[in-house]
Chains A and B, each alone.
Chain A
Amino acid sequence: MRKRSLGLILYFVFLLLPIYWLLVMSLKTNQEILGPITFWPENLTFQNYFTIFNDPSWYTGYINSFIYVVMNTAISLTVALPAAYAFSRYRFVGDKHMFFWLLTNRMAPPAVFVLPFFQLYQTFGLFDTHVAVALAHCLFNVPLAVWILEGFMSGVPREIDETAYLDGMGFPRFFFTVFMPLIKAGIGVTAFFCFMFSWVELLMARTLTSVNAKPIAATMTRTVSAAGMDWGLLAAAGVLTIIPGAIVIYFVRNYMAKGFALGRV
């Protein structure tokens, strides 16, 4: 037992040290970073964070990322909820093919779609808008949302549906007042996953934007300047991207694993 927890502690050290290092670095001055190694900031400074919060070209990156992530989560959930219900309750012509086709989109390498997306969105005049990124991320988030929700919905006994219909409840009323409260946890977890995968993706977000909807991930490449890398600023920007995720995890921690298993544990 002692040996086991020692191993676990070692693993957590491995897990947390890189994050610790990023955090420490964001609180150091560039002179200290480039000087002899220190394990704790000697001149504690919040200058890097002030720079980010006061410079529009920095903080709009976070705002842009938030806008398209929230849009994507809303769109994904709205379309995925009814579809997942259909897949979990009914058989219909081509259902299995349809489900498989959806999955292939989750598994398609984004790199494959980068070039055509670029042209498609330019044709539609959507290039460099938040909608473009939100729609592009639907490519992998909608199938994922359908998949997870279907797993959660299959866990709800069918008798509940049948009883409701026998009582003369219409589908919309049943779905919103009876069924959705039953899969609250599933909806929360799905929202979390859509948020997460849209938040961490860079390739498409960067390709489909230039100025107006530029995500924070792309802004971070700005720290390379003629004067060399501004490591402290880069680290501070990195720390700020971790915080939203860390907050959301806390709320879904008990259902998270079930979500990762696509609702099938």
Chain B
Amino acid sequence: MNKTWNNAAWLLVVPVFLLVAFSAIIPLMTVVNYAFLDIFGPGETYWVGTDWFRQVLASDDFQGALVRQLIFSGMVLLIEIPLGITVALAMPAKGWTASLALVLMALPLLIPWNVVGTIWQIYGRGDIGLMGWFVTRVLGLDYNYTADPLAAWITVLVMDVWHWTPLVVLLCYAGLRAIPDAFYQAAAIDGASKWKVFRYIQLPKLRGVLLIAVLLRFMDSFMIYTEPFVVTGGGPGNATTFLSQQLVKQALGQFDLGPAAAYSLVYFLIILLFSFVFYTAMSRIGQAE
């Protein structure tokens, strides 16, 4: 669709600009300010240049959290995307079962994130939780997410799969419904196998929604805070401390303004890099269609 040039359209964008600028630019300037200064009190500020950045980048806390974060986000994508596609393919296409399936599917997405944490905190406990009880008593496995790092990881990961796979399912489901029947009829005439239908019709048509799903999942898992905070508190040790939690600990817990601000900027730049790739890919797809 070719749009017309009209600079007066800016007037329509001004309210959004002002509102978001108030919430985004002023705080961001504060962060930038802190990142380069050492503040002892009012009027006692010293320019420290890139010291804070070097300190943050070299710290074990940051590096550890970053590595854990990358592994976590990678695993989230590896599990949720294939699972989401599979479930979406199996979802009923019409009738009351389709409506019911959609409503149930969306349920986890609307639960406040701390309640998601609470649900799994309870669910995974050996004494009062159904899953914890099943794993420890019925299967007889040694499972305790508050003491064992591996169990904590599995719990947080399963929780994220439970929480966010429905998003992938809903996206793929919408993508699948948008494929015209004629495509399937043509495939039936050619005698194409189920796998070929998936590989050459459904998968290419899902490309757009899958891209959105991958990037939304990547970015949201990259900012995960509340759920592991409630379930494991980042522990045991710091086995499930991801970037956001490390940052909040530093900023509000210890009130280390300088390092926390430098940390924020590094964190934000990583995300910004990914959003740029995302945006470019999105607009390419938009042009191709």
Contacts and interface: CB of A to CB of B under 8 A. Distances in A.
A226 interface: no
Contacts of B251: 111, 114-115
B115 A241 contact: yes
B107 A19 contact: yes
B241 to A, nearest CB: 12
Interface residues of B, number: 95
Given A37-B133, A79-B19, A109-B223, A90 B260 contact: no
B114 interface: yes
A86 B128 contact: no
B106 A249 contact: yes
B109 A112 contact: no
B128 A33 contact: yes
B247 A89 contact: no
A213 interface: no
A interface SS class: helix
Interface in B150-184: 162, 166-167, 170-171, 173-175, 177-178
Given A15-B104, A241-B112, 18 more contacts: A7-B90, A21-B122, A25-B122, A87-B13, A89-B4, A92-B8, A105-B23, A110-B244, A116-B30, A117-B23, A118-B252, A119-B30, A200-B112, A220-B114, A231-B128, A256-B106, A260-B167, A265-B175
A115 B260 contact: yes
Interface residues of A, number: 95
Given A115-B31, A158-B1, A265-B174, A253 B102 contact: yes
A226 to B, nearest CB: 19
Nearest to A234: B118
A80 interface: yes
Contact of A86 (B12, B91, B130, B268): B12
A129 interface: no
Nearest to A158: B1
A183 interface: no
A127 to B, nearest CB: 14
9 contacts: A7-B90, A78-B15, A103-B275, A104-B272, A115-B261, A116-B28, A142-B20, A143-B20, A256-B106
Interface of A: 4-5, 7-8, 11-12, 14-19, 21-22, 25, 33-34, 37, 39, 75, 78-80, 82-83, 85-87, 89-93, 95, 98, 100, 102-105, 107-120, 135-136, 138-139, 142-143, 146, 154, 158, 196, 199-203, 207, 216-217, 220, 231, 234-235, 238, 241-242, 244-246, 248-250, 253-254, 256-258, 260-262, 264-265
A105 B24 contact: yes
A248 B111 CA distance: 12
A253 B99 contact: yes
Contact of B119 (A7, A154, A238): A238
A248 B1 contact: no
